[in-house]
Amino acid sequence: MDTKSLPDIQSHRDLHIWIIENLEMVPVPESAYGNFFEEHCYIVLHVPQGLKAAQGAAKDLHYWIGKKADTEAQAVASTFLRRLQETLGSATVLHREVQEHESDCFCSYIRPGIIYRKGGLASALKHVETNMYNIRRLLRIRGRKHVSATEVELSWDSFNKSDIFLLDLGKVMIQWNGPKSSNSEKARGLALTRSLQDRERAGRAQIGVVDDEDKASGLMEIMEAVLGSRVGSLFTVLPNKTITQLQKARVHLYRVHEKGKDLVIQELATCLLTQDLLHEEDCCILDQGGVKIYVWQGRRSKPPELRSSFSQALGFIEAKGYPPYTNVEVLNEGAESAGFTQLFRRWSKDQDKTANLRWIQKPGQAEADLSRLHSQPERAARLRMVDGGAGKVEVWCIQDSGRQPVEPKHHGQFYAGNCYLVFYTYQRMGHTKYILYLWQGQEATAQEIKALNGNAEELDLLYHGALVHEHVTMGSEPKHFFAIFQGQMVVFQGSAGHSGRGQPASATRLFHVQGTDSYNTRIMEVPARASTLNSSDIFLLITGSICYIWFGKGCSGDQRVMARKVVTVVSGNMDQETVLEGQEPPHFWEALGGRAPYPSNKSLPEDVSSFQPRLFECSGHNGHLVLMEVVFFSQDDLDKYDVMLLDTWQEIFLWLGEAVSKQKEEVVAWGREYLQTHPARRSQTIPIVLIKQGHEPPTFTGWFLAWDPYKWTESENNQSYRELVEGSLDTITAITEITAEVNNFRLSRWPSNSSPGSLALQALKGSQDRSENELELGPKVDGTSTGTSISSIGTSISISSISTSISSISTSISSISSSTSTSTGTSNYHNSPRSMINGGLPREQLMYKTAKNLPVGVDPAQKEFYLSDSDFQDIFGKSKEEFYGMAKWKQQQEKKQLGFF
């Protein structure tokens, strides 16, 4: 076997999947992505595209093992994997995946879910046959963010109260929801069901949803005709053992080497881990709580065979007594994954330092850059600024469990023993936006903190949930918070009185001045003693009659200029005297209680350039946080039922979908638990930002490669799952006569003297045995139809392309279909206008154009169809037939990226 036998890798595609069949590496068609046969092994390659590719993101190469795959298939797959790695180069991360225990990275490629199929794939058969109606199977659907469907025995014995089940009968697909399943699980199960309808049935299968058996008698009769009568009650499945954030926090680093035939493992460290523990001549194993095993190979380590790397990990797993399906990830130095690097307290890459030079501002450039943040969300996110701080500001001090307004002349003055609400209002793209900062002093009591959260919730109710809540701890304020006060922010020791002013101060006070401009300057009162000084900074010493401005030897010119601007904030009209380090008058030292040693080190900001943002779905289990990562995330990964955590390393964003019922306090507590249990021992004062769906600031949206501000306003996204299924589960029976007149398709109507079960099954079989030629004809290209279909999406009945000759029953149809939507599938291609026959429209008239700016007659929902075939191939990298054969969600994703959405 040599590299010549390897398949070509198409550069324009991000995902490639091959199945190991007859000792060969056979490509899986895109329409079959997500289907995995349990007797086979697969190789999955993800190649970053677009901006991620330009930034040098590593490729991910996965080796998937079916639970019934034999050792020969595994050995062949391993060999192909090694050959592929040699071809792709060292910037490739290798993963070992086992069926039903795949990594979050692997599951993130397969949306809306993985389908496990029984048996093996015969060579003469297609991987998945589109328009395959002669089928009868039962799928158990489970999972939260990463959904999977497993083929189970076609029997009521396979059912339980907790999961979702799909009875797939070819032309009819019935989703049965367990009574203990959540709306989120039901909605994601429906997304997978609709994906199967779209990919495997060309959108022409009917879908019915059983959410309440008593209200879906027609669908239940069909199920009983296939499965027989149900005997006994269903059981409740015990929840799977969930991996909590607490388990993932336990990390151990080992150095691994072979001594003869023995594998020698030497423990180097447990958390906290630092990057200097990794040496380029070493091979190391990082054990993340037995949940995941990383094998790290230094660039000068002895080049091991691929099977040696995996065998070392498997030997380690066996020695530790971990399950054999434990996920393994093999990384080369310089191509570490985000999950690996974030297990270390700090991480740096040489290339990142040069890559981030573009964010360094030139003198005088800051104001010009900030004025354009409304149109540059990606820059707003990196700078942590929604604007330059010129919006409207209101400040309240929390006192006696209420909020006391702070006079504008005292804005920016805080006390360490208090909590404050800072309400900021700004304009963005013609809309008013709000940020509510919850500032917590380091000396504030638990009662004051509780009152702070309660008053924030009251304000949020006044503004109908439109506020972005940012929890800020004294000393860790974000850049925009400084900008609001234009460099005049000062934190005093002690507590404010009822007037908002501080208590009487001592005669001698010392203030530390930190910052170089109006967007990063803070003045903080510190203990008035000599040991508090630092040669790299500036301090203000206030005595009874004079204010000394002390310049350390290591301070910069920008620091000195800024200190002179803000000195009056604390000194008022006092006389000022500049003091250089080493030239202090005796009275200076007397005021500080005498000379004492003090540090001279420069406090450098933490380098966060090497940390990639990561997105997680949050949930709780036995009182602990459970996270599921979404890799290569986009806006489409934010679901109305979700609580999502976005970690940008400098801030923690918590995003709440509109259908989330969790209390905000519980969600914020998840953010704090995430920081407390993070293996890198993160600072507990990192700001936590709470965001509600539809009110996302640019500091959040800028981390997503493409953000559609109108996505949440679309009716499809606003329609809840319950609205999709409510009230019409049994309408199939009600419109039997109408459907029979339209296309002679009876599903659930039987003579009174016949057995409903047997006749329903006969009707179903009859519909499956209909001529495939008739099914393939579908709508003609001129928009008329040779055959009419009725599609039930969720629990609604959608009637499309009904001939005008049956107008006499249109009233009945409209009354039943008032809340439905038409299922399209690949027939979109045939239904679309044919203006492109004569060469199509120029791409300039279609790309990135709003509906009102399109040429007359162009359908805004299908702008791409009006391209010529050659332009379409050039832009999308595939033909129209290939494009419209893809799943709808993937079509939409590509259209958004290329300006046709």
User: Which pLDDT value is given to residue 399?
Assistant: 93
Whether 412 and 495 share a structural domain: yes
Across the range 551-562, mean pLDDT stands at 93
Whether 582 and 667 share a structural domain: no
In a domain, 102, yes or no: yes
Higher pLDDT, 262 or 76: 76
Higher pLDDT, 363 or 506: 506
Percent of the chain scoring above 70 in pLDDT: 78
Nearest to 222 by CA among 775, 729, 723: 729
- Does the pLDDT value for residue 741 go beyond 70? no
pLDDT, tens digit, for every residue of 233-276? Answer: 888 887 677 888 888 899 999 998 777 777 788 999 998 899 99
User: Which pLDDT value is given to residue 141?
Assistant: 96
Domain count, the chain: 6
- Domain end, chosen from 112, 142, 168, is at 112
- Does the pLDDT value for residue 812 go beyond 70? no
pLDDT, tens digit, for every residue of 479-509? Answer: 999 999 988 999 999 998 655 455 555 689 9
Pairing of strands 431-440, 467-473: parallel
- Does the pLDDT value for residue 364 go beyond 70? no
Whether 495 and 531 share a structural domain: no
pLDDT, tens digit, for every residue of 303-317? Answer: 665 567 888 888 899
In a domain, 320, yes or no: yes
Whether 476 and 547 share a structural domain: no
What pTM was computed for the model?
0.79
- Helix and strand element counts for the chain (H, E): 29, 36
If one counts every other C-beta atom within 10 angstroms of the C-beta of residue 505, the result is 12
User: Which pLDDT value is given to residue 791?
Assistant: 35
- Does the pLDDT value for residue 601 go beyond 60? yes
- Does the pLDDT value for residue 787 go beyond 80? no
Q: Do 115 and 147 contact (CB within 8 A), yes or no?
A: no
- Does the pLDDT value for residue 6 go beyond 50? yes
Determine which helix (DSSP H) or strand (DSSP E) holds 563, and give its type and residue range.
Answer: helix 557-566
In a domain, 4, yes or no: no
User: Which pLDDT value is given to residue 498?
Assistant: 53
Determine which helix (DSSP H) or strand (DSSP E) holds 210, and give its type and residue range.
Answer: strand 206-210
* Alpha carbons 16 and 621: distance in angstroms, whole number: 35
Across the range 123-128, mean pLDDT stands at 55
Whether 409 and 533 share a structural domain: no
In a domain, 766, yes or no: no
Whether 296 and 422 share a structural domain: no
In a domain, 752, yes or no: no
Pairing of strands 796-799, 790-793: antiparallel
User: Which pLDDT value is given to residue 832?
Assistant: 37
Across the range 780-785, mean pLDDT stands at 34
| Helix 869-876 / helix 888-898 crossing angle, nearest 10 deg | 90
- Domain end, chosen from 673, 707, 741, is at 707
Side-chain half-sphere CA neighbours of 630 within 13 A:
25
In a domain, 636, yes or no: yes
User: Which pLDDT value is given to residue 303?
Assistant: 64
User: Which pLDDT value is given to residue 830?
Assistant: 37
Distance of CA 835 to the CA centre of its chain: 39
pLDDT, tens digit, for every residue of 518-530? Answer: 888 999 999 999 9
Across the range 836-851, mean pLDDT stands at 73
* Alpha carbons 450 and 73: distance in angstroms, whole number: 60
The CATH number given to whatever domain includes residue 870 is 1.10.950.10
Per-residue CA distances from 190 to 102, 113, 399, 713, 820 (Å): 22, 11, 50, 21, 15
- 68 Cβ contact list (under 8 Å, min separation 6): 38, 39
pLDDT bracket for residue 371 (50, 70, 90) = low
Whether 387 and 483 share a structural domain: yes
Percent of the chain scoring above 90 in pLDDT: 47
pLDDT bracket for residue 887 (50, 70, 90) = confident
Whether 379 and 494 share a structural domain: yes
Phi-psi region of 113 (alpha: psi -120 to 50; beta: other; left: phi over 0): left
Whether 495 and 393 share a structural domain: yes
User: Which pLDDT value is given to residue 810?
Assistant: 34
Nearest to 397 by CA among 490, 498, 503, 481: 498
User: Which pLDDT value is given to residue 348?
Assistant: 83
In a domain, 696, yes or no: yes
If one counts every other C-beta atom within 10 angstroms of the C-beta of residue 778, the result is 21
Across the range 138-147, mean pLDDT stands at 93
User: Which pLDDT value is given to residue 886?
Assistant: 82
Whether 419 and 446 share a structural domain: yes
In a domain, 294, yes or no: yes
Pairing of strands 251-259, 575-580: unpaired
Task: Choose the weakest-confidence range: 222-231, 449-458, 540-549, 600-609.
Answer: 600-609
Torsion of CA 144, 145, 151, 155, to 10 degrees: 30
pLDDT, tens digit, for every residue of 639-648? Answer: 999 999 999 9
pLDDT, tens digit, for every residue of 81-121? Answer: 888 888 888 889 999 999 999 999 999 999 889 999 988 87
pLDDT bracket for residue 608 (50, 70, 90) = low
Higher pLDDT, 838 or 425: 425
The CATH number given to whatever domain includes residue 218 is 3.40.20.10
Whether 189 and 298 share a structural domain: no
pLDDT, tens digit, for every residue of 395-414? Answer: 999 999 999 999 999 999 99
User: Which pLDDT value is given to residue 714?
Assistant: 60
| Helix 446-462 / helix 664-676 crossing angle, nearest 10 deg | 130
Q: Do 777 and 787 contact (CB within 8 A), yes or no?
A: yes
- 598 Cβ contact list (under 8 Å, min separation 6): 530, 531, 532, 533, 534, 535
pLDDT, tens digit, for every residue of 420-462? Answer: 999 999 998 888 999 999 999 999 999 999 999 999 999 999 9
Mean pLDDT, all residues of the chain: 80
* Alpha carbons 182 and 817: distance in angstroms, whole number: 26
pLDDT, tens digit, for every residue of 621-639? Answer: 888 899 999 998 999 999 9
Whether 379 and 497 share a structural domain: yes
User: Which pLDDT value is given to residue 10?
Assistant: 65
User: Which pLDDT value is given to residue 666?
Assistant: 92
User: Which pLDDT value is given to residue 252?
Assistant: 95
Quickly tell me which residue has 């910052």 as its tokens: 515
Across the range 336-361, mean pLDDT stands at 67
- Domain end, chosen from 575, 599, 623, is at 599
Nearest to 495 by CA among 423, 569, 441, 572: 441
- Does the pLDDT value for residue 517 go beyond 70? yes
Domain coverage including residue 595:
504-599
Q: Do 648 and 674 contact (CB within 8 A), yes or no?
A: no
